[in-house]
Structure 1
């Protein structure tokens, strides 16, 4: 392949020191890590601020960069702490920060000019249009959504926006939901994925309820648990597409995992750059290491587009390991296999598959191998529970683990040494002087040079003695001699000078490019400027406005009948939008806003055009690409919750794009909401008071995967149009599953939530725009809910009264919502 202008980097995860060492020792060009606060893997060991100087010195001495994951939403009251952490990172020489929050991104560019800004995959950049909008923040690198195919990645090269280096994930666990768009942990357990506290609900078992009946899916129970990504074969094509950074997931993984995966991908990248066939270079032993260190099954993910029959195997949600074979027969403390692979040995850990309950499986370490028989410790196995035909997986290989540990234990050789070009001068009677060329660093001998009677110093002798730099970060470069006459110096003195020179060079100030002066600005100055670039806004009206989101025609009728003046419409089939707009215009004075899809990929701007041609009063914007499309369309636009507005700096940035209002992020509790309203004009905002929380939003289509044999929308037969589906969780709650116009699925919380009890405080803070979202309610149910909240806004009913009433009316009850503060 043509050699890329910029060599791609291999970016490895580091949850602790051992992982960092494993990454460096096995060929990473950069690592990413987190601190105890503000990162999306709070359960990792993580580094501390005190670790940073030593960590960065270690990395830079090996020619490796360090990126800090700062990839969570930042609440208003945390902005000062975020500023302090940014300054610590900059002072320690961290190369870049990986950021989700748009307001934090603004802080990086203004307050810490020596930190590169990388847009996290949590920023949900799925299209060139979205990248163009994000690039107005001045990002230096963008981590794209995992759900993009090679064909979709190719379209980023054709964008006319300024080139931004692109980064993609190539290996590791896949989130079933779009990063930055998963509210499951927040909705079910008050543990927000946007705050680094993902509870991994996608790895839990679910049952599928189809049209009210339990659907028998056999042993498939992990309906939302994807296989792990392994794109090692796609490396050559990704390099051709100009991808700059290849990212390995795994800050919660072991150092052995980091070592193995980094080594294999380093091998693949080097082979591709050398025009070697990666399919031949990557061996079965390499694939074995990838599976053994961690695997739920390895798959190419979305690299070749959606394949709903392959992405989610649905048989298990945890590490499975390497497939060994099938049990032929069983004896006490032993099993016979149909065939024994050559790599199987004493001490290996194995597990016998039990798809009925993957948390209750037989397994242990092999004590003996005799032909096709595996022997185990006496009494270790309940062999009566193991049937012929059971599949066996290898879960532990102590020899491999030791080999991997050895790669990062002890001194780690430097991959690239700094060359020392030297100028050497002297004459009899004065010391020998060795100077680093073009620098002020020099050393001189403690003894004067003597006149040589035999074997005078020459280039060969000096290169031999001064070139002995093994075990250091340096190697000898060019040597320029300026000796007068034939002189001599003891070898022991030359050795002393070599050691002194190495010490002087290592202690000298860095020769890296000059750093920019540290900024003297503070975030409080940025907060004081919030709203300064906006046109003057009129004071908030006294009366509150109720906005109702409808998902079908019956709900629209209920809203119009109730006299609702502000409607949002969110249909699966956007072709019906024009008729909905005409109906509302012909039969009411209400304003109708049409909702965009939550995700927009390259080539899907046609959905935006359909919305525009329907001539609504406005648009409900749900992604960065839609902002870019409607920015100059001359139509009012409101930003939805999916834009993740959590602080005034984010709000101010989005307001400058032309959004008239912003829906407050669902990650905020009431105290954080009030902080936001006090930090920016309250008339900018809207809040959702009643809804079924949209939890998972995913490219994976469970309708196609389990109700058809089709791989995508062209072959699935669209069961989403014929069936009502719910996913039943472990506690018996049946969560509604819906498909959107892009065939993406959203799983909604079965239990509605209300923030009615906070209405009075929100009104006192100046908030005047309130929303309720309908889901599957009938016309009559919709009318009752709308009337309830109209009475709340009119002051005719109190929030606690509504809470009790809704709880009594709903078969499932009602939660107090994510705004409720933790007790």
Structure 2
């Protein structure tokens, strides 16, 4: 029997994603401000959005962690003290950092903040974990390059109140726990300061020294090859092993992903974790959970380093494209129990006659055909083609705000 709380930690690239993550079952979310986070391309949070998001989360018993995990240069440090003071006033639950200098600044300017050590710090052993614990770190976000056996050994050799966090789902980095120089070299964008251009997903050829301009595919494929392109991490089949290895917080990657990705991934892992925690001795993996995860845009899946070191089978050499079998078509804004009509905000084209799937935080969803679509003036229409158009649809079953509509993609 697991005698500790297991946290499901979700990404939130903006305020809307934070709300969906909380509603769909995350225990905590991690967010980035507009500076000092490692996702410069995400919308990220203004101070005002942070205030609203923290209030929303705390009202529902959820926690909010803020990333300040860039590897800073001298110039980055100039804004840090004032930013930390603002964070300290926001009642956030922790900051996630990777740099010793940043940690010193947190202690000096925001000493009340709980500190989590980012995976960027490459923590791979218990002595390093104990060192950070002595500096005041409450949680270690472990390097992705650890096996279950190594994690168990760390857990056995660190204080009980030092929490361990590990990734369970999402994109993998070709570099060691995200410390990548390739983006800086190839595109002049520093991955360690939040501007990664993802050159690991690019297509590469070999050029022989004495034959410049003659591009040779590395494999016998006219497309070339994707040297560094990893499959996505997915540990849904191994929830018992993850929990029993000693991990306290199970982390989903994806601050730049859609609200549909966040909501659906959270609801599936929430279901699996709850089923295991309810009765570990009777737990059985449900293959439908994996099928649900595949209904979100994804690459092929891998278990990363947890079971053994990755091999060529954990790389994708032919393409960096995502597998996308379903379209996210709308979210429910309101529902009228008397008429059965739902106000929908469209996210992809919706047609009268479409067969759709409806999902909500309770995990179980349902299918239905769309028999009628009304525009904002209650005029019947055949298609909703405009981005974020407001429409009304009659639902076969009661729904609620934050429910999501999706449909299977037709073959091109």
TM-score when normalising by structure 2: 0.74
What is the deviation of 1:211? Answer: 11
What is the deviation of 1:276? Answer: 4.7
> Matches of 2:238 and 2:301 in 1, distance apart?
13
> Matches of 2:282 and 2:67 in 1, distance apart?
31
> Matches of 2:208 and 2:400 in 1, distance apart?
52
When residues 347 and 178 of structure 1 are mapped into structure 2, their CA distance, relative to the original with a 3 A threshold, is: farther
What is the deviation of 1:159? Answer: 2.1
> Matches of 1:216 and 1:278 in 2, distance apart?
48
1:3 corresponds to 2:2: yes
Contact 2:276–2:283 (Cα < 8 Å) also in 1? no
When residues 216 and 91 of structure 1 are mapped into structure 2, their CA distance, relative to the original with a 3 A threshold, is: closer
Per-residue Cα deviation, 1:435-475 (whole angstroms, up to 9, x for no partner) = xxxxxxxxxxxxxxxxxxxxxxxxxxxxxxxxxxxxxxxxx
Contact 1:166–1:243 (Cα < 8 Å) also in 2? yes
Per-residue Cα deviation, 1:49-78 (whole angstroms, up to 9, x for no partner) = 122222111110000000001110223233
**Helix, strand or coil at the partner of 1:113:** coil
Q: How do 1:262-281 residues align onto structure 2 when only pairs under 5 Å count? A: 262-276=266-280, 280-281=284-285
What number of residue pairs does the alignment pair up? 331
**Helix, strand or coil at the partner of 2:177:** coil
When residues 346 and 94 of structure 1 are mapped into structure 2, their CA distance, relative to the original with a 3 A threshold, is: same
Choose the corresponding residue for 1:194, options 192, 195, 201: 192
> Matches of 2:245 and 2:122 in 1, distance apart?
20
> Matches of 1:283 and 1:321 in 2, distance apart?
19
- Give the greater-gyration-radius structure (CA): 1
Q: Which residue of 1 aligns with 2:245?
A: 241
What is the deviation of 1:246? Answer: 0.5
When residues 26 and 162 of structure 1 are mapped into structure 2, their CA distance, relative to the original with a 3 A threshold, is: closer
Q: Which residue of 1 aligns with 2:183?
A: 185
When residues 77 and 210 of structure 1 are mapped into structure 2, their CA distance, relative to the original with a 3 A threshold, is: closer
1:95 corresponds to 2:93: yes
Segments of structure 1 that go 5 or more residues without pairing to the other structure are 324-344, 349-401, 411-823
Q: Which residue of 2 aligns with 1:218?
A: 220
What is the deviation of 1:282? Answer: 3.0
Q: Which residue of 2 aligns with 1:26?
A: 24
Choose the corresponding residue for 1:172, options 152, 156, 170: 170
Per-residue Cα deviation, 1:251-286 (whole angstroms, up to 9, x for no partner) = 0000010000000111111111122579745342x3
Q: Which residue of 1 aligns with 2:118?
A: 120
Q: How do 1:469-480 residues align onto structure 2 when only pairs under 5 Å count? A: none
**Helix, strand or coil at the partner of 1:293:** coil
Contact 1:185–1:198 (Cα < 8 Å) also in 2? yes
1:312 corresponds to 2:315: yes
What is the deviation of 1:157? Answer: 2.1
Contact 1:267–1:282 (Cα < 8 Å) also in 2? no
> Matches of 1:76 and 1:322 in 2, distance apart?
46
What is the deviation of 1:135? Answer: 2.8
What is the deviation of 1:45? Answer: 1.0
Q: How do 1:598-747 residues align onto structure 2 when only pairs under 5 Å count? A: none
When residues 212 and 181 of structure 1 are mapped into structure 2, their CA distance, relative to the original with a 3 A threshold, is: farther
When residues 126 and 26 of structure 1 are mapped into structure 2, their CA distance, relative to the original with a 3 A threshold, is: same
Contact 2:218–2:225 (Cα < 8 Å) also in 1? no
Q: Which residue of 2 aligns with 1:550?
A: none
**Helix, strand or coil at the partner of 2:65:** strand
> Matches of 2:135 and 2:119 in 1, distance apart?
15
**Helix, strand or coil at the partner of 1:266:** helix
Q: Which residue of 2 aligns with 1:77?
A: 75
> Matches of 1:179 and 1:138 in 2, distance apart?
22
Q: How do 1:745-756 residues align onto structure 2 when only pairs under 5 Å count? A: none
Contact 2:151–2:246 (Cα < 8 Å) also in 1? no
> Matches of 2:285 and 2:245 in 1, distance apart?
21
> Matches of 2:281 and 2:297 in 1, distance apart?
25
When residues 28 and 407 of structure 1 are mapped into structure 2, their CA distance, relative to the original with a 3 A threshold, is: farther
Contact 1:288–1:322 (Cα < 8 Å) also in 2? no
> Matches of 1:196 and 1:303 in 2, distance apart?
26
What is the deviation of 1:309? Answer: 2.6
TM-score when normalising by structure 1: 0.38
**Helix, strand or coil at the partner of 1:237:** helix
What is the deviation of 1:292? Answer: 2.3
Contact 1:40–1:69 (Cα < 8 Å) also in 2? yes
What is the deviation of 1:124? Answer: 1.1
> Matches of 1:80 and 1:223 in 2, distance apart?
38
Contact 2:296–2:325 (Cα < 8 Å) also in 1? no
What is the deviation of 1:204? Answer: 0.4
What is the deviation of 1:101? Answer: 1.6
Per-residue Cα deviation, 1:310-361 (whole angstroms, up to 9, x for no partner) = 21021221312359xxxxxxxxxxxxxxxxxxxxx9679xxxxxxxxxxxxx
What is the deviation of 1:288? Answer: 2.7
**Helix, strand or coil at the partner of 1:295:** coil
**Helix, strand or coil at the partner of 1:246:** strand
Q: How do 1:781-800 residues align onto structure 2 when only pairs under 5 Å count? A: none
When residues 62 and 161 of structure 1 are mapped into structure 2, their CA distance, relative to the original with a 3 A threshold, is: closer
> Matches of 2:106 and 2:354 in 1, distance apart?
53
Segments of structure 2 that go 5 or more residues without pairing to the other structure are 327-352, 357-394, 404-412
When residues 174 and 278 of structure 1 are mapped into structure 2, their CA distance, relative to the original with a 3 A threshold, is: farther
When residues 212 and 242 of structure 1 are mapped into structure 2, their CA distance, relative to the original with a 3 A threshold, is: farther
> Matches of 2:36 and 2:290 in 1, distance apart?
34
> Matches of 1:180 and 1:133 in 2, distance apart?
21
